[in-house]
Structure 1
Amino acid sequence: MNSPFSNARKGFPLVWRLSLCSAASTLMNPACADFLQGSKSSLELRNYYFNRDFRQSGVAQSKAEEWSQGFILRLESGYTDGMLGVGFDAIGLVGVKLDSSPDRSGTGLLNTERGPGGRAEDDYGELGLTGKLRLARSTLKVGTLLPRMPVVMYNDSRLLPQTFRGAWLNSSDLDNLSLDLGRLDQTNLRNSSDNEDMSVFNGGSRNIRLGSHATSDRFDFAGATYRWVPALSTAYHYGELEGMYQQHYLTLNHKWTISEGQTLNSDLRWARSLDEGNSNVDNSALGAMLTYSARGHAVGLGYQRMSGDTGFANINGTDGYLVNLVQINDFGNQDERSWQARYDYNFAAVGIPGLTFMTRYLSGDDVTVRNRAEGGKEWERDSELGYVIQSGPLKDLGLKWKNASARSNFSSDIDENRLIVTYSLALW
């Protein structure tokens, strides 16, 4: 059996050199105490059972069902003393198969052989290294990255998180203003051990067409977020997947405290995606989510509208930053109009801290489906029940059950259950 980290160094020489040089210079520097004092590490355990039933689709494989165990080790150093601080981070990811078979593989939990009926590997993994430099309140990271911004959101919805390789500069030297600038050249999907070029997600009825090049090794991004007051922030982000698409993204977030214990949160988003020479991408995405919270209860209403010649554009494998991105769907198909009703309850309000419940319903219509005269329709219903132990020897052990049902007149009907047990341990 190959080691889960057998491919970790492949295509990664720059990061290894930078990280090793950073470590060597640090250990020889008298400021090593600051480097070590600011370091921290943790181990996260994820036990994940996934069952998706799509027998109504009529395909040969009627369901996907697997069980797995994940290990996520995070190491973060401090910075050396002085004007220019040097440090490095590392992340180790290992996924282990507990139960699977070729007739029910493909849950996204495990690394699976390509093609229908592929067999899941016994284990897989990744070792990522990141060198970092800090000057005042600006930080440059080069290596393995986990970006979270509107134009690129790494996916962490399965056993292990998706990672990227690249460089990312973040600056907050100006009060209330955060600036981002960077480039990504490879991605490692959530159930993979290998870095690979990036592509555009084209599931459902996105209706995106690509030219002669289906992948790209360059995604450039930039962004600015300004906090006007503690309760109000606005942001602009730009992303460009070379040869595929470019995207402009505007966001506004506001929290209004109505009275003690009562708040109204507003989340407004607008994105404009255009082709970049090798596709037909043309999409405008408008989204709004309003959430009223009081005494443990939270009620949310969301609306999302797609317009243009295609659906929403995002890097394959990532989470598209949409207000109606939920457990199974994101309702980002061409011309789709969708709304969401959501309810949350935190049982801490009645003396049971750690226990939470959520349920939501979404409905979408007006989808442009190729070779069909009538518009496509779909709906999804989700529920989640979670508990995190608050004290005792099992403190911070989390248990979550996620249930979803989705129905559509242009894609497979799906019923899904996920059982997730998590535990995080601070090593130092």
Structure 2
Amino acid sequence: MLKTPIARGVALATLGATLAIPTMAQAAFFEDTKANLELRNFYFNRDFRQDGAAQSKQEEWAQGFLLRVESGYTEGTVGFGVDAIGLLGVKLDSGGGRYGNGSQLLPGDGDSAADDFSELGLTAKAKFSETVLKVGTMQFKNPAVANSDSRLLPALMQGANLVSKEIDGLTLDIGYANRNNQRASSDNEVMSLNGVTANNNNTRGIQMSAGAANQSDDFRFAGATYKFMDNLSGSYYYSKLEDLYKQSTFNLIHVLPIGEGQSLKTDLRYSRSKDDGSTNIDNKAFGAMVTYSLSGHSFGLGYQKMSGDTGFAYLGGNVDPYLVNFVQINDFANKDEKSWQARYDYNFAAMGIPGLTFMTRYITGDNFDRVTGADAGTEGKEWERNTDIAYTFQEGALKNLNVKWRNATSRNNYGNDLDENRLIVSYTIPLM
């Protein structure tokens, strides 16, 4: 990541500032520093099940190393610090017709996966009272933008973020980004809009204006989250990808205690997306998820509806959309699509097996138009089924080792039919 001017500038400025501060003022800087190394072993297998598929499957196995360092702050009215993230991905197995476009774990090296890739990101930070400013390598996670961390290495961005908690219960969040670093890449690239195809022919209905390019080097957002009471919070975020779209997002979360070990959680989401000069984006996205919890059991029902001239708009480059029906493979956000979700979770700690968890869900969507082939214009339909089983060892030599198996089946009548398995083994070693 140090290839970009912003990263080099942050590194030099941070180093210079740190060296210029008297040694006594740096005491908290070092004492509060935290560092850990995560070892992430990832096996990914995706089978293409539709007739005439150009490739039968994608299969990769890789080892990831994630070093995270967070310094404390120097003493004084304004404290300064620096964070760092070092990432390394190493291929263990791939190739032989199993690698293809849209690699899941590793970047490409011709017609096969690269043997390894690495990156280093630095972030300068300053703190005044309960306000923190960070500049450099960012990993955002909010309703406006959430960089994915669901593969070997996380997706990152270059930019800045100001978070303020000066008022009790209120969090203000302002950010900016000009480059995107995808999870299977070492390059910082200009940003783009998800869901756009070269011929403007897609189930999302999103089109570029004549002569316009699907790229931007200016993404910004501003939001506020307020905790009205212990069990009720709400948020509003405004975001804009220059020339491509602008979006307002509302969220309300309420948890109702019912009785001993019981609760009812309601998660309501609404987004309004419009074009910003070079697209036809016009979307209203409503989502609701209601979850009833009893001891270790959780039962959830979700509903999501798209309306307007297009489907949902969000950043491309491995960014997770803020939708209740965004799941392992699909987001169910096509033009006019309506989708439903049924979900069940169980935490085996309730029956004396702490560390073992289970989740399964089923999502089905319809009411959108198919856009290709002889069936163009007819109703599109899709469904997806997910199952997660995870266990974290609680004691012994393997304490804190986490093993997770993720399985997904996706079917539709307009594109790829997929069967997918992911096996992730991770272990985090505290260094400081």
Q: Compare 96-105 and 293-302 and name the one that shifted more.
A: 96-105
- Say which of 162, 173, 184 aligns to 1:191: 184
Query: Which residue of structure 2 aligns with residue 222 of structure 1?
Result: 222
Q: Give yes or no for the alignment of 1:74 onto 2:68.
A: yes
CA contact (8 A) 1:22 1:88 kept: no
Amino acid at match of 2:280: N
Looking at structure 2, the residues matched to 264 and 13 of structure 1 have their Cα atoms a distance apart, in angstroms, of: 49
Establish whether residue 207 from structure 1 lines up as the match of residue 205 from structure 2.
Answer: yes
Matching of residue 361 in structure 1 with residue 378 in structure 2: no
Alignment of 1:18-417 (within 5 A): 18-26=13-21, 28-101=22-95, 103-106=97-100, 107-113=103-109, 118-202=111-195, 205-211=203-209, 212-316=212-316, 317-371=318-372, 372-417=376-421
The structure 1 segments of at least 4 consecutive aligned residues displaced by more than 4 Å after TM superposition are none
Name the CA distance, whole Å, in 1 between partners of 2:133 and 2:414.
45
Give 2:378's aligned amino acid.
E
Deviation by residue 1:61-110 (Cα, 9 ceiling, x = unmatched): 11100100001000000001110000000000111000000511144100
CA shift, 1:309, in A, is 1.2
Instruction: Assess if the C-alpha contact under 8 Å between 2:272 and 2:283 holds in 1.
Output: yes
What's the secondary structure of 2:38's corresponding residue? strand
Aligned sequence identity (%):
53
Question: Secondary structure at 2:12's aligned position in 1?
Answer: helix
Matches of 1:263 and 1:246, distance apart in 2: 36
Distance 2:49 2:304 in 1: 29
SS in 2 for 1:305: strand
The alpha-carbon deviation at position 31 of structure 1 amounts to 1.3
2:199 corresponds in structure 1 to none
Distance (whole Å) between structure 1 residues aligned to residue 31 and residue 14 of structure 2: 18
Q: Give the distance between the partners of 1:331 and 1:25, measured in 2 at CA.
A: 52
Report the Cα distance in structure 1 between the residues aligned to 2:4 and 2:99, rounded to whole angstroms: 27
Deviates more, 1:211-220 or 1:343-352: 211-220
Query: For 2:258 and 2:96, how far apart are their aligned partners in 1?
Result: 54
Q: CA RMSD in A?
A: 1.3
Unmatched runs of 5 consecutive residues or more in structure 2: 197-201
Q: 2-side partners of 1:293 and 1:43: how far apart? A: 34
State the AA in 2 paired with 1:240.
Answer: K
Query: Which consecutive unaligned segments of at least 5 residues does structure 1 have?
Result: 1-6
Paired AA for residue 308 in structure 2: G
In structure 2, give the amino acid aligned to 1:86. Answer: F
CA–CA distance in 2 between the matches of 1:360 and 1:22? 50
Q: How many residues align?
A: 418
1:243-271: CA deviation from partner (whole Å, max 9, x where unpaired): 00000000001111111100111110000
For the residues of structure 1 that align with 2:368 and 2:429, how far apart are their CA atoms?
A: 45
Distance 2:13 2:208 in 1: 36
DSSP 3-state at the match of 2:336: coil
Contact persistence 2:2–2:8 (CA under 8 A): no
TM-score relative to the length of structure 1: 0.95
Q: Distance in 1 between matches of 2:20 and 2:322?
A: 39
Q: Deviations over 1:319-347 (max 9, x none)?
A: 01100011111101111100000000110
Q: Does 198-207 or 90-99 show the bigger shift? A: 198-207
2:304 maps to amino acid: Q
* Shift in Å, 1:57: 4.7
Secondary structure of the residue that 2:108 maps to in structure 1? coil
- Give, in whole Å, the separation in 2 of the partners of 1:57 and 1:76: 50
Whether contact under 8 Å (1:8, 1:193) holds in the other structure is no
Worse overlay, 140-149 or 56-65: 56-65
